[in-house]
Amino acid sequence: MGGFTLQGALKHFYIFSFWTGLSTGEQIGLMWQDIDIKANAFYVRRSLSSGKFMEETKNASRWRKVELLYPALQALCELKPSNYDLDPEQYENDYVFKNPRTLDHWRIDALTTAWRNALYATSIPYQRPYNTRHTYASIMLSAGLPPNWIRQQLGHTSMKMLETVYARWIDEDESILKWLSDKTKDKKNGPRFTEFFFKNI
């Protein structure tokens, strides 16, 4: 296989995907005004769907506050403009995840093409980019985080999705706890994650 890998802005996009559980459309819609780095959190307020941004939804829980885990926070910090901390207001209407070629938000087809190429280069069978959301949910469940907290993070209206879709993926392997602890311990994480996770390991 070739040597294609996700780099730069694409790398940060997918790291953030795996560590937040956002849908692709929700992540594309994030603006800097939605990010609260000091609180280790961000707000989902819009989503790209069929080429247009939706700022209203029948499911009120989809517009939500999401806690940041350290790898996602680190990706944001690496994406911040160099003078962001001096004058964050000038960037509040900028998209967080921008295509460096167009300086506009990513298009789903461009993200999917890069994702497909990366999987092909590493001999991984094709999976939809949306599956990063499933990965996040299954890791959080396997690590023993409270299902209701996970539901809120994902924006589900009820526990049904966790029970019917993700429960079968729960793994009791201690290696998952160690892996997640190594990625987040003594780092900056959302307070509820820290409360729930570290008191049980």
- Could you name the CATH architecture of 8-121? Orthogonal Bundle (1.10)
Whether the pTM exceeds 0.85: the reply is yes
Q: Per-residue DSSP letters for the chain?
A: -------HHHHHHHHHHHHH---HHHHHT-BGGGEEGGGTEEEE--EEETTEEE---S-GGGSEEEEPPHHHHHHHHHHS-TTTTT-GGGGTTSBSSEETTTTEEPPHHHHHHHHHHHHHHTTPPP--TTHHHHHHHHHHHHTT--HHHHHHHHT-SSSHHIIIIIGGG----HHHHHHHHHHHTTS---HHHHHHHHTT-
pLDDT along the chain (201 residues), means of 10: 67 96 95 94 92 75 93 95 92 95 93 92 90 92 91 88 73 84 93 92 77
Give the model's pLDDT for residue 58: 60
Show me where the domains of the chain are located. Answer: 8-121, 131-198
Give the model's pLDDT for residue 178: 92
- pLDDT tens across 6-31, in order? 888 999 999 999 999 999 999 999 99
